[in-house]
Amino acid sequence: PDRVVLPSVTNKPGKDPRTITFHPVPVVKGRLNFLNTDIDNGKATYELLRDTINNFALPKFHVRTPMTLLRKLIEQNIISKARARLSLQPIQRSDAHLLDSLISTLVHNSLRFKYPPSPDILNLPIPFNGLGFSSIEPARHEQRSVTAAITGPATAVFSISGRAASILHGEVFAQIAAFTVAHRDRDSRLYSDHLLTTTLLERYTSRPDFEHRIRRMNARSYYRWLFALAEQHRDEGLHSQYTPGHSAAVDLPAALNGFADHYATHAQRHRDDLPAAPTPSFAMDDYTFWTAQDGWVEASMRDFYSHHRARQQGRSLASGRGGRMAAILYAGPRPEYPYTRAYASYSAAVQLYARSGQLPTARTLSQRNRSIVCMSPMCRHGCVAVEDDYHVFVACPRYAVFRLESAAELARRIRRRVLPALTDAQSAGIIAASETFYNDGDLWPTTHAMYFLGLTPKLAGLIPRAAFTSNTSYRMCVSACEVDWHYAAIRLAGRIWGDFQSEAAKRHGGL
């Protein structure tokens, strides 16, 4: 019905409040609200989360809001709410990506830098040289293997290889296995909790119709194989029938389904010993994507690659951007503390913008300047050099004292760390390198110093392995030194940028 009639009372003066009147109330169809979340309405959830982010008022500080505090506030007030909503009603990936950009804008507005940072770098985990903010867009799935199980007169469990394999492949392959072993001339039942597969087999008996239905579906080669087998069973033989999974019913289908689930789950622990399910390359499209890591990919490439966004992103961030994010070439260990806990986290904020390539140096300002007034890209401290990040942090003599002080402190720290284990001669290399950690040199993969991006060269070559009794103690010493370098690097970058900005502000104020 379009309307239902509901009883109502009134408190208007002059009317008897005991009189019950009836009003027709329009019915909203196709909408289900559960725990305050519109079910099956991703747009509504997206809009709700968007408004939550846009209306989120950060507490006002007379100093810049520390980034570590921002992280906590956003985690507690936005991400946790979003997670709860999204567990009830997922939204489209593109919408989730937009929400992540909004959060990035929120962070940007509180940090008060000139150009916005890259949301990708804000969300990239700290070990990948990102800032490790939680993102709304889900990361790619953990690598796991898929198992398929059938049970009945006999039981078999198979593993399905390739990272592109999903639960779906497992479900369809289990049916393939059953149709393969079942007698073609004996009437029998196959119970499956995979509704789509059983429905497809019930509904389609002609091969062209079936082909038309599945031609763009993920796992279509498995469906084709299954259909060919099911054709052999059409008259007598095996017929598949849907039975709800994880049901509380105590009947044969539910019991068999429970057993098959049990085998499939428990076989995960022995997945290396399981027989591998054959790949139905004979039923694939003429051209099918394949990669060494993923195996055959029949899903739409767009969906597939959005699933693997983080991996792809790490790679694309690494290759472009003037090598700013080529983290793989540099030392691995990165401390979390300055990004997640430290009270004064200006250094972390500078890292976010430096790694995003968004620090307003004269070069960047002049490139983006759209006014008629010509803006020089040269160093504003009078050097005959373009004022880019590299010049400011590595070359400009204005910050020479900062660099020397910072390097002396790092060298002291490194000396304290290595001297119990190393002799003076053995420690000379690492200590000398620490005294000039901000400088270009062969230690750096590109010979250019990249310390201001939170990158540290690998230090193992500077510390003699022979001085240690075990690989473990050696590696611990090397990573401890690399972490010391990381701290020194981001602190120095923060200190230089703080001075740079206050100078720029003074100039701007006409002083």
Considering the complex, state which of residue 264 and residue 396 has its C-beta at the smaller distance from Zn ion: 396
CA–CA separation, 208 and 133 (whole Å): 49
Please name the residues in contact with 295: beta carbons below 8 A apart, sequence gap of 6 or more.
161, 162, 163, 164, 165, 279
The distance of closest approach from Cβ of residue 378 to Zn ion in the complex, given in angstroms and rounded to an integer, is 9
Q: Is 378 among the residues that bind Zn ion (CB under 5 A)?
A: no
Residue 421, token pair as written in the block: 């284990």
Task: List binders of Zn ion among 40-99 (CB under 5 A).
Answer: none
Q: Which is nearer to Zn ion, 352 or 496 (CB)?
A: 496
Alpha carbon separation from 236 to 116, 203, 500 (Å, rounded): 67, 17, 83
Angle among Cα 250, 252, 255 to the nearest 5 degrees reads: 65
| Other CB atoms within 10 Å distance of the CB of residue 190 | 22
Other C-beta atoms closer than 10 Å to the C-beta of 250 total 8
Which residue in the set 326, 396, 449, 488 belongs to the binding site for Zn ion (CB under 5 A)? 396
Q: Tell me which stretch binds Zn ion (CB under 5 A): 42-50, 212-220, 245-253, 372-380.
A: 372-380
Answer for which of 379, 449, 481, 490 binds Zn ion (CB under 5 A) is 379
Phi-psi region of 16 (alpha: psi -120 to 50; beta: other; left: phi over 0): beta
496 sits near Zn ion (criterion: CB under 5 A): no
Structure tokens, 181: 């072993």
Stretch that binds Zn ion, among 163-171, 236-244, 260-268, 394-402 (CB under 5 A): 394-402
CB nearer Zn ion, residue 21 or residue 376: 376
Q: Which is nearer to Zn ion, 339 or 393 (CB)?
A: 393
Choosing from 69, 196, 383, 480, the residue that interacts with Zn ion (CB under 5 A) is 383
Closest separation between CB of residue 326 and Zn ion, Å? 26
Minimum Å distance from CB 494 to Zn ion? 18
The answer to the question of residue 394 lying near Zn ion (CB under 5 A) is no
Query: E strands of 79-151, at which residues?
Result: 146-150
Do the Cβ atoms of 168 and 219 come closer than 8 Å?
Answer: yes
- Tell me the closest approach of the beta carbon of residue 392 to Zn ion, in angstroms: 7
Which tokens hold the place of 326? Answer: 């080529």
Question: Of 140 and 381, which has the nearer Cβ to Zn ion?
Answer: 381
Where do we find the tokens 């770098």? 121
Size of site (CB under 5 A) for Zn ion: 4
Does 274 bind Zn ion (CB under 5 A)? Our answer is no
In the complex, the residues that contact Zn ion under the rule CB under 5 A are 379, 381, 383, 396
